[in-house]
Structure 1
């Protein structure tokens, strides 16, 4: 068995999407039985820059077109999380120990009707708007510190 510490981190991009009321988009993953919600995020393709990946993932997961969002901020540093030992080797074909992510804060200028999680390759079974401070309470436990770090990175731009 591979030692997780010997594996690299998967390069990813994440999106914190704020609506007009300052609430954050979260989706409930299709592939999880846990009552867990997360923000849109996914892998950065070879040769793709992180912001392009973030917008692509946002579209793939929420159906939201890039012209409906405005960039507010980018987290100054990459943020990391490790998979729990029991998931290493089971997800991402066992190639990664966790993710290193570039996070972007976008303002959503569309309407709820512009959100379409019934995409060609759906990732979410439900979605909602949530107060930013509640994010660490709804994510899977192994990503809680990551979400606290995302909130800290964007604190100056969040309500309250």
Structure 2
């Protein structure tokens, strides 16, 4: 959470009500989610205008399976109707965003950008990545693999 707040800087951090519902449904299993839900610097967008609802419904038809991915639908709808840059780690929603010209990034490129800009160090991001992995967050490498992945992908220079 601290890294997200730091990286956001003066930019607002907003997530849709559908993400809030997903987090609330998991907080019993993952109490640390209270940090996200209680963060005063994160705003929940409770949009109910027709443009947002229509966009959400369109993404819902494409993405929702077994009741999952509603959060991604809300994120995409905010990007589409509000012009927000969105952060999506799942490849299918990210591809949809790219196809629809929604500004999109993912967690790892954000972190690599912060390294290149001197805001974070490789060592800091390595530790963060390993913490995410230990919390069952999917990343395209295993524990200790961030540096190699980032170098092979061209996100950071060889040290």
TM-score for the superposition, normalised by structure 2: 0.29
- Larger gyration radius, structure 1 or structure 2: 2
Structure (1/2) with the larger strand percentage? 1
Structure (1/2) with the larger helix percentage? 2
